[in-house]
Amino acid sequence: MDVSGKTAFVTGGASGIGLEIGRVLMEQGAQVMLADRDADGLAAAKADLGNVQTVVCDVSDPASVQAAADATIAAFGKVHIVVNNAGVSLAGSPGRTPLKDWQWIVDINLMGVVYGVEVFTPLIQSHGEGGYFINTASMSGHLATPQLGAYTATKFAVVGYSESLAQDLAPHNIGVSVLCPGWVKTDINKTHEGRPSGHDQDGTFADNPGMQMISDAVEQGLPPRHVAEWTFESMQASRFYIFTHPSMRRWIQKRASLVDADYAACVDDPRFKDR
């Protein structure tokens, strides 16, 4: 789609991938509304980008998302592109992850996407000009990792939800892509500091070598600008899955082979013949 003159709403827009997607869309002629919980970060983003609008928004709160949508319509009259990008990380051992932390990450990573879709879909449909949703998941939406059960669950959910969403919205001329990046140099590895429990469980963050490896990988990850450019190009090419790390393809293929092997057991069992 030609984004020139179109309006884009981007959550998690104060930094990282969200900020850079906003920058790329602006450079392509779009009117951009950056949304984030971080008011200071939004102010810095506006000072950096210049001709953008910003709105404080907590994606875990549907009323806040609705208020941000209202602000977008008030500023621009229409909205065409919604980037549901805000997200947080969480690690922990099964049986030792506080349920309030579980609820926290589900409310942001999954329900934040849901609220964005439910609030903005009628607004996109109302003008009849078509539109696009980009939902940020992760390679953790395809590959499970120890100690990241809660994070992985939310990202698998975003991938599956987006797959269904694409089928529902295609007749309305609304495209959908799901962004599944690997390691990107953002602050995602620090967002667990905002979890409700406020403390580490069994040394998961402070002492776990695996978590340190993840932090190190993030620090050496792709520049967010590269991911943003690729995301825009993938939207232009109508790619549904947006991947960023060729080296991780083998793990996708390995998972597919494991699924196929276990499915073969069902196929070969006479109880399931012709089912």
Kindly list the strands in the beta sheet with 31-36, ordered across the sheet, starting from the edge strand earlier in the chain.
Answer: 53-56, 31-36, 7-11, 81-84, 131-136, 174-180, 241-243
- Compute the distance between CA of residue 207 and CA of residue 198 in angstroms, rounded to an integer: 16
**Residue with token string 């690997």:** 182
> Is 132 an annotated catalytic residue?
no
- Separation of alpha carbons 19 and 249, rounded Å: 27
Residue 176 CA to residue 117 CA, distance in Å, equals 11
Q: What is the rounded distance in angstroms from the CA atom of residue 73 to the CA atom of residue 75?
A: 5
Q: Where are the beta strands (DSSP E) in the chain?
A: 7-11, 31-36, 53-56, 81-84, 131-136, 174-180, 241-243
**CA pair distance 180, 239, nearest whole angstrom:** 12
**Single-letter amino acid code for the residue at 7:** T
Structure tokens at 13: 């827009």
Nearest to 8 by CA among 120, 118, 128: 120
As a whole number of angstroms, the distance between CA 143 and CA 139 comes to: 6
At residue 204, φ and ψ (nearest 5 deg) are -55, -45
DSSP assignment, residue 30? -
Residue for token digits 């179109």?
6
Spatial separation of the C-alpha atoms in residues 70 and 174, rounded to whole Å: 20
Catalytic residue among 115, 151, 161, 263: 151
- Active site residues per annotation: 151
